[in-house]
Structure 1
Amino acid sequence: MPPVKKPKAVKIEKQATPKKTIDKSKDVVSGQLKKKVAKAKPQKEKGPERGVIIVKHLPHGFFEQQLRQYFRQFGRVLRIRLARSLRTGNSKGYAFVEFEYPEVAKVAADTMDNYLMFQKVVKASYIPPEKQTFNFFRTSLKKVVNKAGKEIYVSDVTKATQRSVKKQNTWDESACQQRTVANLKKIKKLQEKYKDLGIDFSNLLVEPVAKTKKTAEATETAEASTSKAAAKSAAKKQKQTAKKQPTLEDLLGTTINEDSDDEDYVDASDDESEEELKEEEEEQSSEDSDEEEEDLPPPPKKKNKASLSDKLKRKPGTGGVQKKKLAPAAKAPKNAATQKLQLAAAKSLAKPLPKGKAKKSKK
C-alpha cells in the first residue's frame, strides 16, 4: 500500500495569563522581618575612643574604691568594674578600668604590668578600641546594705527577693491599700476567666476602706497619745532607778560582815578578840597572885563602835581581801603553888653523881 500522509497538527493558541505589574517603588519585606525591624533599636552614634585596660592578680582588699583612688594618679578614670561572683559576691581577682584617653591607658598598663603589690605580681594589658566588642562594664550585681549596715554585692535575683520581702513586711496603711487593690485586680481577672462556669467571687470580696480626713486625724491623735504614754513610762522608770541607786555602805556591807575567799582582808573584829584575850590573861594572873584580896567584879569592857574606815583596815603593801586568822589557843597560867610542887618533884628525882664519875666529867 502506498504511504498515507498524515494531516498536520493544528496549533491551538492558549490564552495568555495577565501579567502582574510590580511597582518598583515598594520594597518587598517578609512579615517576620518587619517585626524584627520594628523591634530593632536605632544604633547610637559612636562616641570618642576610650582607653580600657584589664588588671589581673589583684590582692584581696583591693576593691572598687581602692582601684579608683589608685588609678587616679595616671589620669581621669571614667568607669571601673571588679569581676565578682554571682553567688557569693566576692572578688574574682581581676578588674577593668576605663580612662578618658587611650594614651593614658597605655601608660597605666605599661607601668602596672609585672608590678609587685602585697606579695602578688600584678598583670595589666591594654585593650585597643578595635577589640572592645564586648561591654566590659556591664554587670548584674547590685549593691545592697545588709543588717549590719555594711554594703555588699549580691545578684539581681537576691536583691529582688530582698526588695519584695521588705515590701511585704511594711504594714503602713498606704502599703496595705496598695496590696489589697492589686489582689482585687487579680480576683477580677479570675472572675472574667471562670465566668462561663458560673463562679462568682463578688461575695468573697471586701473592698478597702478609703482613707478620709477624719480617719487620718483619728490615727494622728492615737499616735500622739501612745507617744505621750511611752514618754511618761520612760520618765517613771528613770525616777525609780534614781531612787534605787545603792550607797557605798550598802555595796560594802556584804564584804564586811561575811567571810570571803581572798586572803588579804583583815577584819577589825580579829584585833578586838586578841585584845580581849590579853585582858583576860592579865586578870587571871592578878587573881592568882592576890588570893587574899577580895574578888572584885571585872571592869566593864569598852566596846568601841567600829566605823566603816576601821572595818576596812588593810595590811601595808597588800591589796585585796584577806581571810580571818584563827586566834592562837590561850595557855592556862600557872599558880605559885603548882610551881613550888613542880620544883620539889624535880629535886627529888635529880640524884647526885658519884665522885669518880664527877672528876672524869670535869677532866
Structure 2
Amino acid sequence: MVATSDTAIVLMNLGSPDSTAVPDVKKYLLEFLMDKRVIDYPWLMRKLLVGGVIVPKRAEKSAEAYKSIWWEEGSPLIVLTKQLQKALQHDMEMPVEIMMRYGNPSPEFTFDKLVKEHPGLKNVVLVPLYPHYAMSSFETAAEYAKEIYRKKRYPFALKVIEPFYRHPDYIHALAESMRPYVEQEFDHLLFSYHGVPVRHIRKGDVTGSHCLKVNDCCHVDSKAHKQCYRHQVTVTAELVAKELGIPREKWSLCFQSRLGREEWIRPYTDERLRALPGEGVKKLLVVCPAFVSDCLETLEEIAVEGKHTFIESGGDSFTMIPCVNTHPEWVKTLGILCREKMDAVMV
C-alpha cells in the first residue's frame, strides 16, 4: 500500500452558492449552467440561453428555494460534505480534504492547500461523490479537476475513483441507510434519480448503436454501460431492492429536476407523484441515490415540493429517506474505495 504520509484524499461534491443572496445564487447558476457538459450547446448559444434567459428568470426563485432549506451553519450540501470529511479523516491516517465542482472550495484552492501543507505529497486520490456516470455529474467533476491539475502541473499523481454504482459495499451502505424506513409499513418505494436529457444518453453511447436503440437496453450487456447513467441507476435500484428484500412490484424508479423543453429520460418524478395515489399508493417512501449528500434537490424539490404534489393528489403519507450523508456504513465504504485505489497504484 502507498505510504500514508505520501498520500491525500479529496472528496469532490457538486457545490453550492456561498449564500442565499441573489447575487451569490446568480453567480453559482452561471458557473453551473455554463458548463459545457451540463448544457452541451455551442458556447454562444449557451451564453445567450443561460445568461439571457435561464439565470435572469430563475435566480430569485432559486434564492428563495435555498433560503427555505439553508441551515444555520450554511449550505446543507457543504455542511454535510465537511461532516463526511471529518468522519472519514477519523478512519484514515492521511489528510482528507474537500473541493467542489462549482463554487467554493475550488479544485485549485484545495490542490494548492495540499501542496503547501504537505510538501512530500506523492499521490492524491480524488473521489467524485457521484455513484453513477453522467456527463453532467461525474464526468464534468473528474475532467475539471484533471484540467486544473494539468494546468498547474502539481507535483503529485492524481488518481480518480470511478463510479461505484454497483460496488457491494456501496450497495450495502445505501441499503443500510434505508433499512429503518423500509422496515415500517409502506405501499411503495420510489427511487427518484436526477434526470438527464435523452440526448446525453445517446451522446455517451460509445457503441453508437445500443442505448435507447436495443430493446430493454439497460439489461442487455454492452460496452455502453460503462458510461450509461440510465443503466447504472437501474442497476443500483435493483441491487438495493434485492438486498432489502423489497418485491419488484413494490418499487419503481423515476427522474427529477429536468430543465427546458427537450425530452429527458422518463418516467418523470413529478408525473409519478401525481399518478401514484390513483394507483392505490397512499404511503410512499422516496429515496434519491443520485446524491450522497442532501441538498436543494432532495430537501426542497422532493421533501417539500414532491410531498405537496403527492398529498394534493390524494396520498396520505410521504417520507423522504435521507441520503447516505455520514452514515457509518457509507464512511466505511469510502475508506474501502480509497484503499482499493491506493493498492491499485502500487500494482
User: TM-score if structure 1 supplies the norm length?
Assistant: 0.13
Higher normalized helix content (fraction of residues): 2
User: Highest relative contact order (Cα 8 Å, sep 6+), 1 or 2?
Assistant: 2
Task: Report the structure number with the largest CA radius of gyration.
Answer: 1
User: TM-score if structure 2 supplies the norm length?
Assistant: 0.14
